[in-house]
Amino acid sequence: MNSNTSTPSRIRSYVRREGRLTRAQVRALETLWPRFGIVPEGMLDLDAIFHRQAERTLEIGFGNGDSLADMAVAEPEHDYLGIEVHRPGVGHLLLEIEKRGLENIRIINADAVQVLQHHIADHSFDRVLLLFADPWPKKRHHKRRLVQPDFVELLASKIRTNGVLHLATDWENYAGSMLAIMEASPSFLNTCGPGQFSPRPASRPLTKFERRGQRLGHQVWDLVYTKPGLGR
């Protein structure tokens, strides 16, 4: 049963700026999507979709999907659900699934807020990842940032007790905003102590963009929170 979590603002956190699909991505969407893609209708039965019960991770906005594929390779006993609005990224991840022979990933090509509100049961995930979401750097666009108090509480309702919410960004201003919002949340505890950022968890792969940023001296801020039980 879904909780009565308040509905987050419907100001979209993304703009569809899709690049051109490659021929390989078009083929992947035509031939692999029927097997690994999900078109949400009603409440999703994730056990039936993955054909098993397992620890389950949700990644929101997986980009080109390389990191998601890396995690699925490293943890074949875990199931991974990725949500991404941009079709080239979906196509790229489908190709990675094919190349690596992965069976523990499923993909939704839709607005994550809509999916969470209407198609995901409460307490569905052991871990939720929101890595390098659009920072909307201009102040007048900050209201478009995905990490807002209502959205954090929506995520809390979908995470199991003692589950983890992991955020990361390479924009210092957004990092500070996310930290303030997370510290104010009644649903989460900072795994590194109040007001602290986290070292990069070993479970989060370095992307080629992050490696390039490191060479240029760019910093990344990770935030790792757990959802404690009632006796926190």
Q: Which residues are catalytic?
A: 134
**Beta-carbon contacts of residue 230 (< 8 Å; ≥ 6 apart):** none
Cα gap 15→89, rounded to integer Å: 14
The strand pair at 159-169 and 125-131 is best described as: parallel
Q: What sign for the dihedral angle of Cα 69, 206, 215, 224?
A: positive
The rounded distance, in Å, linking the Cα atoms of 135 and 129 is 15
Cβ atoms of residues 131 and 204 within 8 Å: yes
Intra-chain end-to-end CA distance of the chain, in Å: 23
